[in-house]
Amino acid sequence: MNKKNIYISYAEKDKNYKEEFVEHLSPLIFSNLIEELNSNSILPGENWRDEIRKQIDEADLYIFLLSSSFFASGYLNDMEVQRALKISRKENKMIIPILLREVDYSSLELSNYQALPRNSKPVANWENRDKAW
């Protein structure tokens, strides 16, 4: 099986959730089944906008960690989400929104994609967040 590139998009305020999520993906990463792509892998001196575009273009799967902070970021919405939606429509790539904190995004195109956790209970509201992940 070929390794899949997974682009994880999140607001800086939600970095702790992103790290928890990646920790839960670690068996897949160690098994060389997936590789995480995100802005943290951009090296000093690289053009970060070009690198993010490249990562989004190369991704096989897009994961959006949703919260009010995520939607408050014009860049995440205007560039990352829109680029991923466009590529997904064209190349049939999967998009998975993960609801971190309560936020109403029902008016946005991203709401057309089945979110996790399936019961729409945000990860932050779980007594045991490991179960949410």
pLDDT of residue 52: 86
What tens digit of pLDDT does each residue of 13-65 get?
Answer: 999 999 999 999 999 999 999 988 866 666 777 777 888 889 899 999 999 99
What tens digit of pLDDT does each residue of 69-124 get?
Answer: 999 988 888 889 999 999 999 998 999 999 999 999 999 999 999 999 988 899 99
What's this model's pTM, rounded to 2 decimal places? 0.91
pLDDT of residue 40: 66
Place of tokens 């045991």: 128
Beta bridge partners of 96: 63
Q: How far does the chain reach from its first CA to its final CA, in angstroms?
A: 24
User: Exposure of 46 by Cβ count < 10 A (0-12 exposed, 13-18 middle, 19+ buried)?
Assistant: exposed
E strands, the chain, in order: 4-9, 34-37, 61-66, 94-99
